[in-house]
Amino acid sequence: MNISTVTFQNDALADIQQLETAMSQTQNQLSTGLQLQNAADNPVAMSQVNELDVQLSASQQYVTNSNAASANLTLEEQALTNATNLLQSAQSLATEASNGSLTASDRQDIATQLQQQLAQLVAIANSTDSNGNYLFAGQASGTQPFAQSGGSVAYSGSDSVNQIEIGAGQFISAGDTGTSVFMNIPTGNGTFTTAAAAGNTGSGSIDTGTVTDPSTWAMNSGTYTISFTSPTQYQVTDADDNPVTSGTYTSGDAIDFDGIQVTISGAPATGDQFTVAPAGTGSVFSALSGLITTLSSTTLNAGQLATQVGTAEQQIGNALNNLDDVQASVGARINAVTAAQSGAQTEQTTLQSSVSQLSDTDYAAATTQLSTEELALQAAEQSYASIAKLSLFNYLA
């Protein structure tokens, strides 16, 4: 096989250029710290790196979401603590107000304190984060959720909350609506409510009662009336005015009927009535407002006063129980966020390590490779220089 001088030169120069290109790539890997500069370097490895980068970006977003959720929930937890402390104080005032020896002036002083606490509670319910977003407005975080007009407080926030993804397929509520925290509070004992009729003239009062047989009570949904036919005789009728039971009244003795039990104390007058009705829901604001109205009244008799104060005290207790439940839920969500953050950070470390193994330069191997390429290039250049001197005329000479 004959090899021409031109062919020899072209092949030699191509080899030298290939070695120079390889040296340049190795030098670039050493200077940038990356062995993968583009997909052509290693298509399979670059595809794996791209997939890992997508997973790493998603994990970093989960951490960002978790940080936002944790900050919001921590602020909510503090607001709930403040509301709990305030309501505990209000409950103490209600207990104090139930003292029958208080004068009208004493009760008015308590009512004044409660008015201040009502305003403070509205302010807590309108708490915001550092960006001015309302904590208890749900998805309508830019709208002030609660507005007070006299003794009435209205809610205008959303009844839905934002769901934040803190992990693959793992969502949590970033807050709670004002409805669930402050508005939908069970009334009475949670099953039924009691009340003294406005026209009562005696000093009888009724407690909030208890359920003795839930299955029997569940069959009845109407309002019962306990009527005193004399100071010592009572009759219970149902919503259709049908007699249920009757008996002789003794102050402090329980009256049982249809799966429930109530206690009337004091001295009812003939014609006095008390009602028992299925429980509904009410706001904590209305409980405080109702107690303020009761304590400010100059027309209620002792029995009506005691009944209404007891009802308000029970309602405040229900609100405190609800705050406890919400706070427990917030604490559980904060724990879930913390666990998700820890998991995401561990995942990021693993992903970054995998990306590094695929794309980062092995300095020891690359330095050895560069030395080898330098020697090969020098040898190729020297060989080419020596052989290039040969020609047919030199051979003939």
As a three-state string, the secondary structure of 18-73 is HHHHHHHHHHHHHHHCECCCCCCCCHHHHHHHHHHHHHHHHHHHHHHHHHHHHHHH
For residue 278, give every residue at least 6 positions away whose Cβ sits within 8 Å of its Cβ, in sequence order, or none.
Answer: 191, 192, 193, 221, 222, 223
Residue 97 and residue 4 in one domain: no
Whether residue 102 is predicted with pLDDT greater than 60 in this model: the reply is: yes
Digit-coded pLDDT (tens) for 339-359: 888 777 776 677 566 555 555
Whether residue 361 is predicted with pLDDT greater than 60 in this model: the reply is: no
Q: Residue 381: give the domain boundaries.
A: 1-35+363-397
pLDDT (mean) for 157-165:
90
Asked which of 247, 278, 309 is the last residue of a domain, the reply is 278
For residue 330, give every residue at least 6 positions away whose Cβ sits within 8 Å of its Cβ, in sequence order, or none.
Answer: 73, 76, 77, 80, 176
Dist CA 322 CA 78 (whole Å): 15
How far, in Å, are 92, 173, 324 from residue 331 at the CA level? Answer: 26, 12, 10
In one-letter notation, the amino acid at residue 340 is A
Digit-coded pLDDT (tens) for 92-101: 999 999 998 8
Residue 238 and residue 274 in one domain: yes
Residue 134 and residue 237 in one domain: no
pLDDT (mean) for 27-51:
57
Residue 176 and residue 301 in one domain: yes
How far, in Å, are 29, 354, 360, 362, 378 from residue 365 at the CA level? Answer: 11, 19, 12, 5, 20
pLDDT confidence tier of residue 39, bands split at 50, 70 and 90: very low
Residue 274 and residue 389 in one domain: no
Residue 173 and residue 292 in one domain: yes
In percent, the amount of the chain with pLDDT more than 70 equals 72
Residue 334 and residue 268 in one domain: no
Q: pTM (2 decimals)?
A: 0.76
Question: For the chain, how many structural domains are there in total?
Answer: 3
Looking from the CA of 22 toward its CB, the CA atoms found within 13 Å total 17
Whether residue 85 is predicted with pLDDT greater than 60 in this model: the reply is: yes
Asked which of 232, 261, 278 is the last residue of a domain, the reply is 278
For residues 66 and 106, which has the higher predicted lDDT (pLDDT)?
106
For residues 314 and 53, which has the higher predicted lDDT (pLDDT)?
314
Whether residue 135 is predicted with pLDDT greater than 60 in this model: the reply is: yes
Residue 242 and residue 157 in one domain: no
Averaged confidence pLDDT in the chain: 83
What pLDDT is recorded for position 395?
A: 55
Dist CA 330 CA 340 (whole Å): 15
Whether residue 365 is predicted with pLDDT greater than 60 in this model: the reply is: no
What pLDDT is recorded for position 63?
A: 81
In percent, the amount of the chain with pLDDT more than 90 equals 59
Helix/strand/coil for 122: helix
For residues 391 and 349, which has the higher predicted lDDT (pLDDT)?
349
Proportion of the chain in helix, strand, coil states, percent, rounded to 5: 55, 15, 30
Dist CA 83 CA 96 (whole Å): 20
Residue 314 and residue 340 in one domain: yes
Burial class (CB in 10 A: 0-12, 13-18, 19+), 12: middle
pLDDT confidence tier of residue 279, bands split at 50, 70 and 90: very high
Residue 287 and residue 348 in one domain: yes
Dist CA 248 CA 254 (whole Å): 11
Residue 57 and residue 120 in one domain: yes
Residue 150 and residue 206 in one domain: no
What pLDDT is recorded for position 169?
A: 83
Digit-coded pLDDT (tens) for 231-257: 999 999 999 999 999 999 999 999 999
